[in-house]
Structure 1
Amino acid sequence: MPLFPIFVFHCFFIIIIYSFSYVCYILDYYKNIFIHDGFYIYL
């Protein structure tokens, strides 16, 4: 069964990409909060 390792690698790759995009989304979300707090502090 040569397709099984390819299938596992494909699922693993999708999980990595999904996790990376999720982490980037969270970092961007907190960065926006931090920037807004900084603007409020300066105002």
Structure 2
Amino acid sequence: TVHEGKIYQLKLFCDKDYPDRPPTVRFQTRINMTCVDQETGF
């Protein structure tokens, strides 16, 4: 795939309701995926 061999940086956000609510994941590294907003990384 186009992502093979790449290294991406992510941030995990866990709020006060964790583990009852899953963490939010944000890409720090720009990534070309339709499910990721290019401006916010979410």
Per the normalisation by structure 2, the TM-score is: 0.16
More strand as a share of residues: 2
Q: Give the structure with the larger helix fraction.
A: 1
TM norm structure 1: 0.16
Which structure has the bigger radius of gyration?
1
